[in-house]
Structure 1
């Protein structure tokens, strides 16, 4: 096997590093997830029509942020920072609630008060739903700011989680 060597007038072109592609790589390293759902009534428990439902997510780096990571190629390093800007809760009955906070975890001492920042009131029982439960879907929108390689930008990512709740009808006896 013979090997040939040659000299070029121009050095071979170096592949340009795309900072936006490195930003996506950094986002992948973060392992962003859907909301770590907290909800009252608890799945497996039972709520009632007209009683407050509380929704929240745990404030972890993967479920709510802030979260950050870097990615490098050659001499270029891009750092990305992500946080949830909103969570849209589809309540399973055709209505949705948009929350711009992580929500407030429910405590028994709150009684029948409404959530101060992320709650809902069902108007109908879930008895006619599949499995007699409402399927609740929480979709978080992550805002990702990145910079590096002389550039900066913003990405938007969405992640989703689901749970189910049973809502009963309070029966009044005369």
Structure 2
């Protein structure tokens, strides 16, 4: 019997019915949201922990100005850029150091410095842009037994991003913080009066 069991007397057969239907074209992948692509770009940024430097060399004295700074390099002070892509979508993130916040140890002792600070090279007096003067010794009872103030410096980065997502221009801004820690022993200068013995 022609055409097997599918043939019926008096019933016309459309040749198109004998052809396998073609699969529908695959829908184009949707572009990821701009915020997702921006986050990918931010994660690709190389932002190192700040390399902390002080004029004390690890120990200082009450009442003596302490200079504070971080090593000034692309990965610690910027600018740093990275790009994330997905199909035709593309976002570039650029990070610039906005400020460095130094928590010096004693309660409420916070110094906010614009930029990395000025390196100390033997100059006298206070730093022109980033410094602190301790008013308390780092006694064990004040420092959880360590005898040194824990100093936490946080590099605060402003990250601006822009590009194209889904055929539309996109842009935005975020703040990224990168902390680092050191310790400073702070003592007190003892003044001896002539004729006195100790």
- 5+ long unaligned stretches in structure 2: 1-19, 194-198
1:82–1:144 CA contact under 8 A, matched in 2: yes
Deviation per CA, 1:127-174: give whole Å up to 9, x if none.
Answer: 232321110000111100010111011011111000001111111122
2:151–2:181 CA contact under 8 A, matched in 1: yes
Partner of 2:48: 33
For residue 106 of structure 2, give the secondary structure of its aligned residue in structure 1.
coil
User: For the residues of structure 1 that align with 2:29 and 2:95, how far apart are their CA atoms?
Assistant: 31
Work out which of the residue numbers 56, 68, 84 in structure 1 matches 2:97.
Answer: 84
Q: Give the TM-score normalised by structure 1.
A: 0.88
Could you say which structure has the larger radius of gyration? 2
Tell me: higher relative CO, structure 1 or 2? Use CA pairs within 8 A at least 6 residues apart. 1
User: For the residues of structure 2 that align with 1:96 and 1:82, how far apart are their CA atoms?
Assistant: 24
2:31–2:89 CA contact under 8 A, matched in 1: no
Which 4+ runs in 1 deviate beyond 4 A? none
Partner of 1:160: 179
1:140 aligned onto 2:151: no
User: For the residues of structure 2 that align with 1:17 and 1:52, how far apart are their CA atoms?
Assistant: 51
User: For the residues of structure 2 that align with 1:20 and 1:62, how far apart are their CA atoms?
Assistant: 23
Partner of 2:38: 23
Q: Give the TM-score normalised by structure 2.
A: 0.78
Partner of 1:106: 120
User: For the residues of structure 1 that align with 2:73 and 2:36, how far apart are their CA atoms?
Assistant: 26
State the aligned residue count: 166
CA RMSD, 1 decimal: 1.7
Partner of 1:117: 129
Q: Give 1:30 deviation, angstroms.
A: 1.6
